[in-house]
Structure 1
């Protein structure tokens, strides 16, 4: 087994254990305890509620001041490199993730540290571009893609590395309705665990679980119909 790969267990998935975190004097998460094992989980909250911080803790981009985060049994503080090999992160702005001139080159860059042969990299790239309807753009300049296509490219560049978990932080914020629906359709095809931080209620209304944060604490954690109602009440 690759020593950067998490074990197949344990069944608890992602665990937040009494997690607290502050930026300067502002406390953004307060004593949060969660076990995330469902396949598709949405995270909602007002701006400043702590939801993006929570998302970034799943792959060790942010470490807790107090408490612990474990991903498939790996503590993010002690095993950050291993955790990041198992958790793919999709940012709000895909231009932050698109680094190479062409679409295919950007996908292959993601595979550069995986010890694959040139043939294996090319084959994986071809397959993931076909999956997301980007095969016809393989040799096109990545910066000329539409907003939705760029977000699909960012997602493809994450998925080509075969992570066990995908975290997407407000992935539809910069997209129009058509492209947001395109991304939603792509999410529906994923067979990895998916955690989406969003303000887009339609994007997560068929997820397995939705968590609502307010002022750094969980105020609702339920099926979408219940959690979305709590979020709407919070916003009014």
Structure 2
């Protein structure tokens, strides 16, 4: 799978006028696991959201395996799953089991097939004992495991995760990281401040001021990022 940014600019209107969130980004992301790093406000989350079609370019184009993120957004959403830093933003149904099952609705599966896939997904994410719990009663770590489970049960080709471990303790961070980096999808794009997690990816890109300033092996990009922060 190939993600291509072609002179992509993203802007947003605010009280003080127009802000440039991405500024003429050109790159191709093809590695199985890519980490996007940068300081707060650098544009890294905007980059991930633009790939998913949640944010539209003001100029330029993004394609995901040939699908345009603006004109082909419906087809893209069937192939890609997005995981937010705040898992509450994507929880819809009352209980854990119902929320996971929602992903499979409208896919032409029998009740038995849905049930089998849901139960297998719950077990894989250590959520079986919480299956009948209210989604609103979960801890932040449990809620993030649910969010990831609900995405992966749909077997997406592409997973986009925006700081999925930022609010978690060490145990839950490790659980989420292990599931994200396992070969459950053709491609994962991960926005994170966790530099150890970045080093476990196949490639990293560094964003600063809305521009892509570095792309390459994770160790090299992390070193460049740390040097730039420490000045």
Q: TM-score, normalised by structure 2?
A: 0.93
Structure-1 separation of matches of 2:150 and 2:202: 25
**Post-superposition shift, 1:174?**
1.2
- 3-state SS in 2 of match to 1:116: coil
Q: CA deviation at 1:136?
A: 2.2
Q: Who is 1:14 aligned against?
A: 3
Equivalent residue for 1:72, pick from 54, 65, 72: 65
Aligned to 1:196: 190
The CA RMSD over aligned residues, in Å, is 1.2
CA distance in 1, matches of 2:182, 2:136: 25
Tell me the CA shift for residue 191 of structure 1. Answer: 2.8
Correspondence 1:211 to 2:205: yes
SS at match of 1:100: coil
Alignment of 1:1-236 (within 5 A): 13-24=2-13, 25-192=18-185, 193-236=187-230
Runs of 4+ in 1 over 6 A off after TM superposition: none
Q: CA–CA distance in 1 between the matches of 2:127 and 2:184?
A: 19
For residue 133 of structure 1, report the CA deviation from its aligned partner: 1.5
Give the match's secondary structure for 2:159: strand
- The whole-number CA distance in structure 2 between the counterparts of 1:126 and 1:179 is 20
Conserved? CA contact 1:147–1:179, under 8 Å: no
Q: Count how many residue pairs are aligned between Structure 1 and Structure 2.
A: 225
Which shifted more, 152-161 or 188-197? 188-197
- List alignment gaps of at least 5 residues for structure 1: 1-10
d(CA) in 2 for partners of 1:170 and 1:202?
Answer: 13
* 1:225 to partner: Cα distance: 0.7
Contact residue 207 and residue 224 of structure 1 kept, 8 A: yes
Shift of 1:115: 2.4
Distance 1:190 1:57 in 2: 23
